[in-house]
């Protein structure tokens, strides 16, 4: 099986590229540190020798380029979405950080609407074909279906949340929307799909209060869709990051959120880690450098590095893979997300 | 995934059927905290009545599973004894992976904790953090990271060690000027390390080197400038 080889790429690397691992970073609320998380985790991974591309999917408030210290982009993701550019690889720009590249978000072209579902499918395929080990998507705030789709097709979906009731509430709203969207796309029967749509409204007249109520109802209609529902539940594993923690109590919030996800949605959310509140974050943004570059020894940087290492898992970096006695492990090859929306 | 009323005690506490007593203790504290009235994690998902039901299930599960006789009887009735054996064999896939607890450190890492601080070590599964604690020179920030990882607040350490929160904070922030003479600081740091289950000797040696170095420097500068 030969990996896809892009024509204009150098011949040095394609052999190790078994498809980029796509990580999306969302969380519903604006200002919880999604772009901060993306820029810093990407920098950590790039420094560890991985080829990383960050993609600004925040089509309404794109500014990831500023956070990673790149210049304002001349072209952006919007050009691909609007089909002005066919090759996503042409929109990749270098950043001041070695190994880290960027696809910028829309800039000043407000006439571009959110992409349609079909165009998003095209985009997702192109993202996976990028010459990189990791492609990290910075999602916008809110629960627009475009945001949810980017979240759902990724290999890893990170939900960033800070220890404030509003942020937690938004994280749940986001998870609930993503959950139901994923479930609806996984269902086959027309009646069952409609039922999922009904359940998305929390005050529906069917009395479907929780995902488990919904499951019972689906099982009564169609046992095959019921089994699919359970299977999809199992595959849906968002990973929770708590940002801006100040106390040990704040850190425990991550456990609690994951427990609530288990008990309410029946999904196995994972507590990936936490990052403490740090005043230097503001300074790092002002200096247009990720914190892990600006203050690599700070607690926040150490926590970010831990999260990055967990994300990398056993995935071989380009450096490691290039070493003669290291072979890309088969487990590192991502299977295109089993439940990717194909409706 | 089953609805709450069909879950067994292990599923309610989110532990594996083979869970050791300490794992059950820890899981109980974490879940109980998650569903207390006013918990931020509940907000907008579970209402008060839901939370009360979950709490009573958690309490019941904890009561049964921490009593050896009740637990054995419960396991036998629910046919969990077999699953128990399964979970004990290393190759078995665990039915539910509960909190990312430290799974494989039952004896190897017998941390000794003072009896007064039983709630410590609610760490998140983080091999990196272990490395941090094993290899790093212990500066104030490393101490703070180790403390937070165990879910311990400064006032809890103060309760146990009788060292004021003010001094504990100075230790973490390395505000050496506001700390008393070195001999006291050594005592404080030792007590702090012991309270959260770190190797007190290693920590105090490492930390005191930093204190001494910092305290010598300004004097030297003074001397040289007076010349």
Mean pLDDT of B22-44: 89
> Is pLDDT at B88 greater than 50 in this prediction?
no
Query: Which residue in B3, B13, B1 sits closest to B57, CA to CA?
Result: B13
B112 has pLDDT over 60: no
State residue B218's pLDDT score. Answer: 63
Q: Tell me, what DSSP letter sits at residue A93? A: E
Residue range B3-16, pLDDT digits in tens: 777 889 999 999 98
The pLDDT of residue A76: 87
Does the pLDDT at position B174 exceed 80? Answer: yes
Query: Are the Cβ atoms of A168 and B41 closer than 8 angstroms?
Result: yes
Q: Give ipTM to 2 decimals.
A: 0.75
Record the tokens describing residue B5, joined without a space.
Answer: 């009323």
Closest CA to A280 of A301, A258, A308, A311: A301
Residue B203, classed as helix, strand or coil, is helix
Domain with CATH 3.40.50.300 in chain A: 20-155+278-313
Lookup result for tokens 């831990």: A306
B122 contact partners, CB below 8 Å, separation of at least 6:
A252, A255, B26, B29, B30, B150, B151
Instruction: Sort B123 into a burial class: Cβ within 10 Å, 0-12 / 13-18 / 19+.
Output: buried
Question: What's the confidence (pLDDT) of residue A106?
Answer: 66
> Tokens representing A21?
């691992």
In this model, does residue B170 exceed pLDDT 90? yes
Q: What is the rounded distance in angstroms from the CA atom of residue A167 to the CA atom of residue A27?
A: 8
Cα separation, A137 vs A23, in Å, equals 6
A263 has a chain B CB within 8 A of its CB: yes
User: What is the structure's pLDDT at A282?
Assistant: 87
Which residues of chain A have a pLDDT value below 70?
1-18, 106-114, 314-343
The answer to whether B206 and B138 have CB atoms below 8 angstroms apart is yes
Query: Average pLDDT of B155-167?
Result: 92
Task: For Cα atoms B17, B18, B23, give the angle at the middle one, nearest 5 degrees.
Answer: 95
Give the tokens for residue A19: 């498809």
> How far is the C-alpha of B97 from the C-alpha of B99, rounded, in Å?
7
Q: What pLDDT is attached to residue A7?
A: 38
Residues 6+ apart with CB under 8 A from B166: B178
Asked if A235 contacts A339 with a C-beta cutoff of 8 angstroms, the reply is yes
Q: What is the spatial distance between Cα B225 and Cα A102, in angstroms, rounded to a whole number?
A: 51
Whole-number Å distance between alpha carbons of A132 and A317? 10
In terms of residues, how long is chain B? Answer: 227
Question: Is the pLDDT confidence value at B74 over 70?
Answer: yes
Taking 70 as the threshold, does the pLDDT of residue B116 lie above it? no
Q: Residue A59: which of A79, A40, A89 has the closest Cα?
A: A79
Domains of chain B: 4-88 (1.10.287.110), 127-226 (1.10.260.40)
| C-beta atoms of A255 and B54 within 8 A | no
Chain B, residues 49-108, CB within 8 A of chain A, namely 54, 97, 99-100
CB contact under 8 A, A172 and B45: yes
Structure tokens at A182: 């994923």
Q: What percent of chain B has pLDDT over 70?
A: 71
Name chain B contacts of A245, Cβ cutoff 8 Å: 148
Band of residue B219 on the pLDDT scale cut at 50, 70, 90: low
Nearest residue of A to residue B132, measured between CA atoms: A302
C-alpha gyration radius of chain A = 20
Q: Which residue has the higher pLDDT, B185 or A5?
A: B185
The residue among A115 and B159 whose pLDDT is bigger is B159
Task: CATH number for A20-155+278-313: choose from 3.40.50.2020, 1.20.1440.230, 3.40.50.300, 3.10.129.10.
Answer: 3.40.50.300
- Report the SS3 class of residue A137: strand
Size of interface A-B (CB pairs under 8 A): 101
Return the pLDDT at A111: 54
């Amino acid at each position: 099986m030969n990996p896809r080889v892009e024509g204009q790429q150098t011949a040095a690397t394609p052999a190790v590229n078994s498809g980029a691992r796509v990580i999306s970073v969302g969380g519903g609320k604006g200002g919880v540190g999604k772009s901060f998380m993306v820029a810093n985790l990407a920098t950590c991974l790039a420094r560890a020798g991985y080829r990383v591309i960050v993609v600004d999917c925040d089509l309404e408030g794109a500014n990831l380029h500023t956070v990673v210290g790149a210049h304002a982009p001349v072209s952006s993701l919007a050009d691909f979405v609007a089909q002005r550019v066919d090759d996503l690889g042409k929109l990749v720009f270098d950043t001041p950080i070695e190994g880290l590249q960027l696809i910028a978000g829309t800039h000043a072209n407000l006439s571009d609407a959110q992409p349609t579902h079909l165009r998003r499918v095209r985009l997702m395929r192109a993202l996976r074909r990028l010459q990189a080990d990791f492609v990290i998507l910075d999602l916008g705030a809110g629960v627009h279906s475009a945001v949810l789709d980017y979240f759902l097709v990724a290999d890893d979906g990170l939900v960033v949340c800070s220890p404030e009731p509003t942020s937690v509430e938004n994280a749940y709203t986001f998870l609930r929307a993503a959950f139901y969207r994923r479930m609806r796309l996984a269902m086959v029967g027309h009646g069952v799909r409609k039922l999922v749509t009904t359940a998305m409204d929390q005050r529906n007249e069917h009395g479907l209060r929780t995902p488990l109520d919904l499951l019972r109802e689906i099982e009564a209609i169609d046992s095959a869709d019921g089994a699919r529902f359970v299977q999809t539940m199992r595959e849906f594993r968002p990973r929770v990051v708590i940002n801006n923690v100040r106390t040990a109590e704040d850190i425990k919030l991550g456990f609690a959120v994951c427990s609530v996800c288990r008990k309410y949605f029946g999904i196995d959310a994972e507590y990936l880690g936490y990052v403490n509140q740090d005043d230097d974050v503001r300074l790092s943004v002002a200096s247009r450098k990720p914190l892990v570059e600006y203050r690599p020894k700070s607690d926040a940087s150490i926590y970010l590095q831990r999260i990055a290492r967990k994300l990398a898992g056993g995935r071989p970096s380009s450096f490691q893979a290039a070493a003669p006695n290291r072979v890309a492990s088969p487990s590192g090859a991502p299977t295109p997300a089993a439940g990717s929306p194909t409706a | 995934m089953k609805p709450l009323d069909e879950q067994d005690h292990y599923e309610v506490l989110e532990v594996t059927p083979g869970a050791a007593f300490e794992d059950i203790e820890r899981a109980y504290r974490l879940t109980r905290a998650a569903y207390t009235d006013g918990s931020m994690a509940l907000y907008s998902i579970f209402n008060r009545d839901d939370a009360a039901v979950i709490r009573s299930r958690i309490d019941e599960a904890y009561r049964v599973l921490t009593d050896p006789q009740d637990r054995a009887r419960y396991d036998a009735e629910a046919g969990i004894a077999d699953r128990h054996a399964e979970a004990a064999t290393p190759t078995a896939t665990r039915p539910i992976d509960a909190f990312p607890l430290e799974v494989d450190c039952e004896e190897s890492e017998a941390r000794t904790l003072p009896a007064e601080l039983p709630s410590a070590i609610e760490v998140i599964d983080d091999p990196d953090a272990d490395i941090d604690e094993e290899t790093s020179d212990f500066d104030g920030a490393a101490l703070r990271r180790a403390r937070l990882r165990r879910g311990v607040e400064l006032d809890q350490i103060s309760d146990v060690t009788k060292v004021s929160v003010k001094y504990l904070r100075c230790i973490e922030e390395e505000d050496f000027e506001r700390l008393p003479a070195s001999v006291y600081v050594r005592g404080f740091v030792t007590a702090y390390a012991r309270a959260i289950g770190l190797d007190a000797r290693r920590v105090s040696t490492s930390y005191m080197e930093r204190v001494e170095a910092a305290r010598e420097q300004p004097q030297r500068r003074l001397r040289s400038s007076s010349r």
